[in-house]
Structure 1
Amino acid sequence: MNGDDTSLPHTDRDSPSGPPQGGLDGFLVSLGVVVEPELRELALTHRSWAYEHGGAPHNERLEFLGDSILGQAVTVKLYRDYPELTEGDLAKRRAALVSTLALAEVARALDMGAVLRLGRGEELTGGREKDSILADSVEAIIGAVYLSTGAAEAERFVLALMDTLLVDPDRFTDALDPKTALQQEAARRGLPHPPYDTVGSGPDHDRRYTARVTVDGVTGRGTGTSKKNAELAAARDAVTRLRPRGR
């Protein structure tokens, strides 16, 4: 491992940008994984924290490693489980499963946002809820698991993390672009592209958005820290509500 990765960021337990790691330990133990403490903390250290602490190491190298391991584990799983699918269909399913939206959902289920080390700027702008930061932290943890336990255990860990997504067939078509999926559903019913009603509330540094979209009398609702994320969540909700009626 590169020397930059073995040195730890300085612990900042009393700072709101350096929360305790207990929650992360809990879910790692529940999945039967032991991660070296220095790698665990490195995986949770965002570059904004590192910048504010004298250029300390951060999690981007682990994220790079974890992204590769995640992609390989999901690719092999799909290849083995769906021998009838074409290369194109397999690629679409993989893209949906490893998308930022899907990984952020995994991170939220594990409450990873609460244990991240963020700079004060990210704290003030809702960094603990940002899809990109959450998704990157999942990849970094995967990288830390790989370095701590080896390839076989890292693959098992990835599949355990992704289990609920792997068994959800709608994830393969909707997670990548739920707005497109909703447009296709509307077109199938002979309806025009659905408009979104999106409003923001709260101060600039902690703004939240709520979106609504209605197709064929069914309304989907979603919230997010950006207009885009709120509309994606509303579209996914609408598709979920529509399909049992139409199929």
Structure 2
Amino acid sequence: MAKFNIKEVEENIGLTFNEPTLLKVALTHSSYANQHKDQEYNERFEFLGDSILQLCITEYLFLNYKNKSEGELTKIRSLIVCENSLYEIGKKLNLGYFIRISRGEELTGGRERVSIIADAVEALIAGIYLDKGLEFVKDYIIGHFKEIIDKAINNSIVLDYKTKLQEEMQKSGEVSIVYELLKYEGPPHRRKFFTSVIIEDKEYGKGEGYSKKESEQNAAKEALRALEESNE
């Protein structure tokens, strides 16, 4: 990409920094810093941003969903504060284009890598917090995560298909449930996984997803559907 332009980045993310250096650090990957002496990069910002995001989402759920139990809120939060959600926000903000990475990292797909973009979102959150304080970053987070929050709330009844499958299969006693990774395909930054669920040596369902966990959940979902059909 062209030389890092603070004004262009600020226009893209929808806010102006009082201390632009914070924004530059938030969008600097370690691979870039390794090639540029004395350049601070965003790992420490990620650490702070993760805690800030957890706090803001936790407070929002606590205040706005008083009918939900602690267990329900924990499951919902795990859907919101996860790598895939951060990646989705990062793509909308076009952070992959603006982040400073090494040439080698760029050539291997770094600008599209899920982990790099997700980490950049956490670092950006930390940068905003350090520049403008907690109340400002809280509003910024909720504004950008609102669609993801709503989606998580709407899907909260079916958050964990693996647990539901285990509960269903073990009504009559202990059974062996194994999730077997069949294959994976695609580039490292957007790898797709294919999994089957084996119950007592019989395959009950298959699933796919952009993480092993997601593919296992989808395999369990298919298995539950198959069980429902067989019981009709």
* TM-score where L is the length of structure 2: 0.70
Q: Residue type of the partner of 1:62?
A: F
Relative to structure 1, the CA distance from residue 183 to residue 139 in structure 2 (aligned partners, 3 Å threshold; closer, same or farther) is same
Question: 1:77-125 CA distances to partner (integer Å, 9 max, x unpaired)?
Answer: 0110122334444334334322233322322333322221112343344
Task: For 1:100, give the aligned amino acid.
Answer: E
- The 10-residue stretch of structure 1 (145-154 or 158-167) with the greater mean CA deviation from structure 2: 145-154
RMSD across aligned C-alpha pairs, in angstroms?
3.7
Does 1:221 find its partner at 2:208?
yes
User: 1:234 matched to which residue of 2?
Assistant: 215
Residues 191-206 of structure 1 mapped to structure 2, 5 A cutoff? 192-200=177-185
- Distance (Å, rounded) in 1 between the aligned partners of 2:126 and 2:157: 24
Greater Rg over alpha carbons, structure: 2
Structure 2 residue aligned with 1:102: 85
1:156 deviates by 0.3
Give the superposition deviation at 1:162.
1.3
Give 2:94's aligned amino acid.
D
- 1:58-207 to structure 2, matched below 5 A, reads 58-168=41-151, 169=153, 170=155, 174=159, 181-187=160-166, 190=169, 192-200=177-185
Which position in structure 2 is the counterpart of 1:51?
Answer: 34
* Residue number in structure 1 paired with 2:2: 13
Match of 2:200 in 1: none
Aligned residues: 213
Work out whether 1:28 is the aligned partner of 2:13: yes
Task: Output the amino acid matched with 1:234.
Answer: S
In the TM superposition, what whole-angstrom CA distance separates every residue of 1:221-241 from its partner, at most 9, and x where no partner exists? Answer: 335xxxxx3x34434556788
Contact 2:196 2:216 in 1 (8 A): no
Alignment match, 2:193 = 211
Tell me the SS of whatever aligns to 1:221.
strand
Partner Cα separation in structure 2 for residue 188 and residue 103 of structure 1: 31
| 1:71 CA displacement | 1.9
Q: Contact 2:75 / 2:156 at 8 angstroms: preserved in 1?
A: no
The answer to whether the 8 Å contact 1:214/1:220 transfers is: yes
CA contact (8 A) 1:92 1:172 kept: no
* CA deviation string 1:137-177 (max 9, x = no partner): 11111122223333221110011121122112236974xxx
Measure how far apart 1:52 and its partner are: 0.7
SS in 1 for 2:48: helix
Task: Label 1:243 to 1:106 Cα distance change in 2 as closer, same or farther (>3 A).
Answer: farther
* TM-score, structure 1 normalization: 0.66
In 1, distance between residues paired with 2:189 and 2:45?
30
> Which amino acid is 2:209 matched to?
G
Q: More helix by proportion, 1 or 2?
A: 2
Q: Is the 8 A contact 1:197 1:213 kept in 2?
A: yes
